[in-house]
């Protein structure tokens, strides 16, 4: 028999499923926060078009400006977390979102003022990346490397569980009861609740304070997040892959609401429920592919299940429902579930990229977050640019091509020890070693 004194301690449930126990309330808070952020995702573009913007294209411009702010804040979140600490960055993001959302609802939508939409909705875009990606930096700085893919998967479970999954589901029930404007006000309450749970619940937890050395200034941290472009150019390639990852997701939110609810004939309620189903599927596959990537390799998972899978599924999601019409809603549901599942194949990139530059993980995370935020700009920009030229079907083909480009780029995402080899790149394992031999 094994001596009880020498027996390894039993791992708790949270350890077994790869969820960092000290940050559990942080994950719950991020979920609530992103539910609030996602409440508007399925209807805000057409609602702005009908309440001050004038057209879907002009509403797309507002979302594009918002995307620029998201992109910049996503970059800042990594660099600022190094010197301010993830906890402080999250507080700043919460404050920006709450203040400028209230101003946007009162002085932009409330008065149907298009210039104010551009300004206030744009500034509000700095809020959620600072909050959410500040927490992602917290995770990558404190989770064990061998379970980092799973820990990141749990982050995207919370992130996508809110935006747009449960957020869209929430609005599908509240819009018939209190209307669009009332629904937008409920989002502010969810944001404040999520912020309180995350920041109060994770108070004092390891990894939430300053991460950089004491002599590193804010300017130096921002410079490090840029200098990594030439010191580790493959990280820049990873940034491009991360942009392509969710650019179509944000882009489709510009034109699919009108097409699926009006042109196809599903109606607003069914469209919002479809959106919830798509990303409800995604949140569970975030966990699955996070764990799978720790077994078969981060890069292999990204290229096959993520990039190639999305190239197929994004095409199916648009063309099959628009071809079959409103009587085949169940087919649209299956197509949406396929897209949600394959979108999760990109999850391991948040584990791979920081380990490609182990001596400058803060800069790598800053560039990775820039890619995440850049998707919120690139997607709506592509949709707004190409929609008048080639229509919704043409925009979907552009997204298909982008995913195929991402698949090719993924094979350049090598770990430092792989970059001297001449063979085709092998997938990294959680330990940072190649999962297949790479000849010298």
Backbone CA torsion sign across 407, 410, 412, 418: negative
Q: What is the DSSP string of 294-329?
A: HHH-HHHHIIIIIIIHHHHHHHHHHHHHHHH-GGGH
Q: What is the DSSP string of 9-30?
A: PPPPHHHHTT--GGGHHHHHHH
Q: Which residue's structure tokens are 């939110």?
A: 253
Question: Using one digit for the tens of pLDDT, what is the confidence trace for 356-374?
Answer: 888 877 778 888 888 988 8
For the cut 70, the answer to whether the pLDDT of residue 439 exceeds it is: no
Longest CA–CA span in the chain (Å) reads 77
Tokens of 311: 């190239």
- Report DSSP state, residue 111: T
Question: Using one digit for the tens of pLDDT, what is the confidence trace for 98-116?
Answer: 999 999 999 999 999 999 9
Query: What pLDDT shows up at residue 423?
Result: 37
pTM of the complete model: 0.77
How far CA 208 is from CA of 78, 267, 375, in Å, comes to 13, 44, 26
Question: Using one digit for the tens of pLDDT, what is the confidence trace for 155-196?
Answer: 988 998 888 888 988 998 999 999 999 999 999 999 999 999
- Distance (Å, whole) CA 240 – CA 372: 9
- Which range, of 88-92, 155-159, 400-404, averages the lowest pLDDT? 155-159
Backbone CA torsion sign across 76, 27, 406, 365: positive
Q: Residue 56: which of 44, 69, 65 has the closest Cα?
A: 44
- Distance (Å, whole) CA 122 – CA 139: 28
Question: Using one digit for the tens of pLDDT, what is the confidence trace for 194-224?
Answer: 999 999 877 767 767 777 778 888 888 888 7
Do the beta carbons of residue 361 and residue 148 sit within 8 Å? no
For the cut 80, the answer to whether the pLDDT of residue 431 exceeds it is: no
Determine the average pLDDT of the residues in 4-26.
Answer: 68
SS3 210: coil
- Report DSSP state, residue 41: T
The burial of 330, by beta-carbon neighbours within 10 Å (0-12 exposed, 13-18 middle, 19 or more buried), is given as exposed
Backbone CA torsion sign across 214, 216, 219, 222: negative
Question: Using one digit for the tens of pLDDT, what is the confidence trace for 247-300?
Answer: 999 999 889 998 999 999 999 889 989 988 998 898 889 889 988 888 888 899
Average pLDDT, the chain: 86
Determine the average pLDDT of the residues in 17-45.
Answer: 90
- Which range, of 42-51, 221-230, 328-337, averages the lowest pLDDT? 221-230
Tokens of 405: 């480009």
- Report DSSP state, residue 422: -
Query: What pLDDT shows up at residue 1?
Result: 45
How far CA 224 is from CA of 8, 155, 220, 277, 359, in Å, comes to 42, 25, 6, 40, 11
Do the beta carbons of residue 344 and residue 282 sit within 8 Å? yes
The burial of 73, by beta-carbon neighbours within 10 Å (0-12 exposed, 13-18 middle, 19 or more buried), is given as buried
The burial of 331, by beta-carbon neighbours within 10 Å (0-12 exposed, 13-18 middle, 19 or more buried), is given as middle
């Amino acid at each position: 028999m094994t001596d009880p004194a020498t027996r390894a301690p039993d791992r708790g449930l949270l350890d077994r499923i790869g969820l960092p126990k000290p940050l559990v309330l942080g994950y719950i808070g991020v979920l609530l926060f992103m539910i609030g952020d996602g409440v508007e995702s399925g209807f805000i573009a057409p609602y702005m078009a009908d309440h001050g913007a004038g057209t879907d294209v002009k509403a797309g411009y507002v979302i594009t400006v918002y995307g620029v702010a998201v992109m910049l804040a996503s970059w800042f979140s990594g660099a600022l977390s190094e010197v301010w600490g993830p906890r402080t960055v999250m507080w700043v993001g919460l404050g920006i979102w709450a203040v400028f959302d209230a101003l946007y609802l009162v002085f932009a939508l409330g008065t149907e003022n298009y210039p104010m939409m551009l300004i206030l909705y744009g500034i509000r875009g700095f809020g959620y990346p600072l909050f959410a990606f500040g927490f992602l930096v917290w995770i990558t700085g404190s989770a064990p490397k061998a379970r980092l893919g799973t820990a990141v998967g749990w982050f995207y479970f919370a992130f996508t569980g809110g935006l747009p999954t449960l957020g869209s589901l929430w609005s599908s029930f509240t819009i018939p009861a209190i209307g669009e404007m009332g629904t937008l006000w409920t989002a502010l309450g969810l944001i404040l609740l999520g912020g309180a749970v995350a920041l109060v619940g994770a108070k004092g937890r390891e990894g939430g304070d300053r991460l950089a050395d004491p002599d590193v200034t804010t300017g130096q941290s921002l410079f490090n997040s840029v200098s990594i472009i030439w010191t580790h150019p493959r990280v820049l390639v990873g940034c491009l892959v991360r942009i392509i990852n969710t650019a179509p997701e944000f882009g489709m939110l510009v034109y699919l609401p009108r097409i699926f609810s009006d042109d196809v004939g599903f109606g607003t309620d069914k469209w919002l429920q479809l959106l919830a189903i798509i990303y409800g599927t995604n949140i569970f596959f975030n966990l699955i592919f996070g764990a799978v990537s720790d077994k078969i390799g981060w890069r292999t998972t990204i290229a096959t299940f993520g990039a190639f899978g999305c190239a197929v599924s994004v095409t199916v999601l648009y063309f099959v429902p628009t071809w079959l019409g409103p009587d085949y809603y169940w087919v649209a549901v299956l197509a949406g579930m396929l897209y949600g599942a394959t979108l999760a194949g990109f999850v391991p990139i948040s584990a791979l990229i920081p380990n490609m530059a182990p001596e400058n993980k803060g800069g790598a995370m800053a560039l990775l977050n820039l890619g995440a935020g850049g998707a919120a700009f690139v997607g709506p920009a592509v949709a707004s640019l190409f929609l008048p030229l080639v229509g919704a079907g043409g925009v979907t083909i552009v997204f298909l091509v982008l995913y195929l480009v991402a698949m090719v780029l993924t094979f350049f995402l090598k770990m430092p020890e792989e970059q001297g080899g001449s063979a085709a790149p092998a997938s990294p394992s959680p330990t940072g070693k190649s999962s297949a031999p790479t000849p010298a």
